[in-house]
Amino acid sequence: MKEVLDDVERWRGQGKRVALARVVSVEGSGPRLPGAAMAVNEDGDVAGSVSGGCVEGAVLTEALGVLVRGEPKLLTYGIADEDASEVGLTCGGIISVFVEPLDW
Amino acid sequence: MSLYEILRDAIQAEDPVALASMVGGPRPGAAVLVRPRLDAVGSFGDADLDRVVVRDALAELTAGNTTMRHYGLHGEARRQDVAVFIQSFAPPPQLIVFGAVDFTAALVNVAKTLGYRVTVCDARAVFATHERFPRADEVVVDWPDRYLAKVGEQLGARDAVCVLTHDHKFDVPAILAALETDVGYLGAMGSRRTNSGRLARLRNAGVDEARLERVMAPIGLDIGARTPEETAISICAEIIAHRTGRPAPSLRGRDGPIHPR
């Protein structure tokens, strides 16, 4: 959270809406601990991360949707399937990511 | 002030704060902010649930834990109706380094990278200067035991004390004072010879074997470190292994020369 605060502050200062995505649970092997945070503004600018780069793209898309709808969403990512057509983690873990508009 | 602004200010001031967010249940996204000795801010829409979560969040914050907890709609235990993610923003752990020596600057740098708040303390004003340790949060000119008498009460399981003076007149009082605290990691630098002399002095000062067990000396993991920077890595790695309880090979765990010849 601390690592995204500077960007969040700048975006808020520019009057931009911001979504906050945080890892809320990790089962098995996972790259980042619960609490790891990624912030996304309405233009699609990103700060921070929630994995080792595996799911950030998908979380960005979801976060923009969350900003449009104004409703939070709980996402779960598991192992990537073999033909890599699906977003997931290569490490074999399962992570849950809570995405919410930073409107509180 | 909004909940976010209170959280932001607390994080930036390094004041302890926990954010409890409902991630599953009737009001996803509802949040309660919890700080020691202050009223909670925010609500999940149920006074009983609020009370239970505030209690649990304070406990998690004290332990520095970030975790998911489940409750009934009114805070009942052993129910799964509500999922609350409690994220603790505890102040950074502290490292106190006694001895303003060559190895200290490297240790300060590695510890800062790991997120510690670092204090360097030495009784010799000519060595204990900010210029020599620019990344230290604090450089204190004082005797180790006198300094610990002032701040030792704040030390807990996440904190560390490293004694790098390898001079009995500084390090024995420093270790004795550190043993009076609840600090999680206590290490002391020195050759095997320095160390056995120091252990003898500590025993003479009345320290029993159980308490001596707390002293990681010679300090560091047995990774063949030679330079101050490598030694700093070996010390910080030992601090991590000590905290996680992993069986990394400490120099203390074997005999023979510390440095390969």
Give CB contacts under 8 A, 24+ apart, made by B127-132: B127/B100, B127/B101, B128/B100, B129/B100, B132/B100, B132/B105
Instruction: Say yes or no for a CB contact (<8 Å) between B11 and A102.
Output: no
Amino acid letter for position A22: R
Whole-angstrom distance, CA of residue B2 vs CA of residue B5? 5
Of the candidates A35, A71, A100, which has its C-beta nearest B66's C-beta?
Answer: A35
In A, minimum Cα distance to B32 occurs at A104
Structure tokens at B15: 């004041």
State which residues form the domain around A88.
2-101
Is residue A76 less than 8 Å (CB to CB) from chain B? no
Under 8 Å CB-to-CB from A103, ≥6 apart: which residues?
A: A17, A70
Structure tokens at B213: 């067990």
Using a CB–CB cut-off of 8 Å, the residues of B that contact A are 2-4, 7-8, 11-12, 21, 23-24, 28-29, 31, 42, 66-68, 85, 87-89
User: In what order do the strands lie in the sheet containing A73-77?
Assistant: A46-48, A37-41, A18-27, A94-101, A73-77
Sorted by where each starts, the structural domains of chain B and their CATH numbers stand as 3-89 (no CATH), 94-253 (3.40.50.720)
- What ipTM goes with this model? 0.91
Q: Give me the mean pLDDT over the A13-19 stretch.
A: 97
Spatial contact of B189 and B219, defined as CB atoms under 8 Å apart: yes
What's residue A15's pLDDT?
Answer: 96
The tally of domains found in chain A comes to: 1
**Within 10 A of B41 (CB to CB), how many other CB atoms are there?**
17
- pLDDT means per 10 residues, chain B with 261 residues, are 96 94 97 96 97 96 92 96 96 94 96 96 94 96 95 93 91 95 96 93 95 96 95 98 92 83 61
Mutate to test the interface with A, among B12, B66, B82 (most CBs of A within 10 A): B66
Of the candidates A34, A72, A96, which has its C-beta nearest B67's C-beta?
Answer: A34
Instruction: Say yes or no for a CB contact (<8 Å) between B3 and A104.
Output: yes
Give how far A24 is from chain B: nearest CA, Å. Answer: 6
pLDDT in tens, B83-139: 999 999 988 899 999 999 989 999 999 999 999 999 999 999 999 999 999 999 999
Amino acid letter for position B249: P
Q: How far is CA B222 from CA A18, A37, B219, in A?
A: 47, 35, 9
pLDDT in tens, A65-101: 999 999 999 999 986 555 545 566 766 788 999 999 9
pLDDT in tens, A35-63: 999 999 999 999 999 988 888 999 999 99
Give CB contacts under 8 A, 24+ apart, made by B49-54: B49/B73, B49/B74, B49/B75, B49/B82, B50/B75, B51/B75, B53/B20, B53/B84, B53/B86, B54/B20
DSSP conformation letters of chain B? --HHHHHHHHHHHT--EEEEEEEESSSTT-EEEE-TTS--EE--S-HHHHHHHHHHHHHHHHHT--EEEEE-TTS-TT--SEEEEEEEEPPPPEEEEE--SHHHHHHHHHHHHTT-EEEEEES-TTT--TTT-TT-SEEEES-HHHHHHHHGGG--TT-EEEE----HHHHHHHHHHHHTS--SEEEE---HHHHHHHHHHHHHTT--HHHHTTEE-S-SBSS---SHHHHHHHHHHHHHHHHHT----BGGGS-S-SS--
In B, minimum Cα distance to A101 occurs at B29
Is residue A24 less than 8 Å (CB to CB) from chain B? yes
Its pTM stands at: 0.77
